[in-house]
Structures are given as structure tokens and as C-alpha cells.
Amino acid sequence: MEKTVSSKIIHKGKNFDFLLDQVELPNKKYVNREIVDHPGAVAILPVTNDGKIVLINQYRYVTKKRILEIPAGTIEKGELIEKCAVRELKEETGYSTNHIIKMLSCYLAPGYSNEILHVFLAKELEKGEQKLEDDETISVQEYGYEEILTKIEDGSIIDAKTILSILFYLTRNNI
């Protein structure tokens, strides 16, 4: 158990804040904890009727390159996570659906971020148009299961939530 002695907002961002907490450890020593204070996010694994997995290819500033990911986004204030999942799927891929199933929730970086990611499976997809934000340039790409496992093996897919979601889906037969 670690006790919060003080908590300071270092920076308020658009989607999350940076905090600096002073913490008392069980051994009575004090340490600083730098924290990403995040409202949580959703990620969606979209699977088409003909068994293809839909990925998006987008430039990620911190990686300095385009990477392949499943669609995802931050939960807006007061938004239900299922609605957020359907919204982000539509915005980023153009696909609509009412058929989403919760797969799991997880912490991405519990050493410094309280972001919880809720992961959904989306099926019965209907094709439509993307609705991208100003700072998004996203292309949509679809892959078969074997092809996508090869991309995980050879390092072409390097995003943790994407690898996790695909492997979770493919190792379960009861969804």
C-alpha cells in the first residue's frame, strides 16, 4: 500500500493530464510518482463477414512513422464505453455495427499511466465513410488471419493493444 501525500497537476492536456504525486511507501520513505492521468480508452477489433481483420494505418508522432493498429480512441466525458467503441470504429474505419462484444479490459502501462483500455470485438460490419479528426490521416487495410499472424511474428505489427486483441480473439473459439 502506498499513500498519497500530495498530488499536483503539472500539465492539463486535451485528452489527459500529467500529475506529480508525492507518495509514502510502506517502509515510510517518500518517492515521487509521475503519472499520466487518463480517462480511459476503447479499442475495437473489427472482423468482416468474410473473416478479415480490419486495421488502420496511421502516422504516430511518438514513433516517427506510420504503424498498423486496430481502431481506438479516448472515452469522452460521460460517454458509455460501448457507444465510444461504435463511434471510434465508424470514425476511423467507416464501418458501422450494432454487434459489439466486450473481450477484456487492461492497463497498458501501470507503472505510470492509469489508462484502462476496454477492448471490443466488432462483427456484422457495414461499410460507410470515415469521419476523421483534423489530426488524423488514416488508411484502412484488411488482412486474413494467417497474414496477420505473420505480421505479428515479423514485427510489422508493433502496437501492443493490436497484438493482444488479435491473439485473444484467435485463441478463443467461443466468441
Cβ contact 88:96 at 8 Å: no
Phi, psi of 6 (to 5 degrees): -155, 155
Per-position x/- string for 106-145, each x denoting binding to a copy of itself as judged by CB under 8 A, each - no binding = xxxxxxxxxx-x----------------xx-x--------
What part of residues 37-66 is at the interface with a copy of itself (CB under 8 A)? Answer: 59-63
Tell me if 101 contacts a copy of itself by CB under 8 A. Answer: no
Secondary structure (3-state) at 22: strand
CB of 7 to a copy of itself, least distance (A): 11
Neighbours of 6 (CB within 10 A): 10
**Count, residues in the chain:** 175
How far apart are alpha carbons 93 and 171 in whole angstroms? 25
Q: Which residues pair with 16 in a beta bridge?
A: none
Using the rule CB under 8 A, which residue among 6, 32, 141, 150 binds a copy of itself?
Answer: 32
Residues that bind a copy of itself (CB under 8 A): 1-2, 10-11, 13-16, 18, 20-21, 23, 25-27, 29, 31-36, 59-63, 67, 69, 72, 104-115, 117, 134-135, 137, 149, 152-153, 155, 158-161, 163-164, 167-168, 170-172
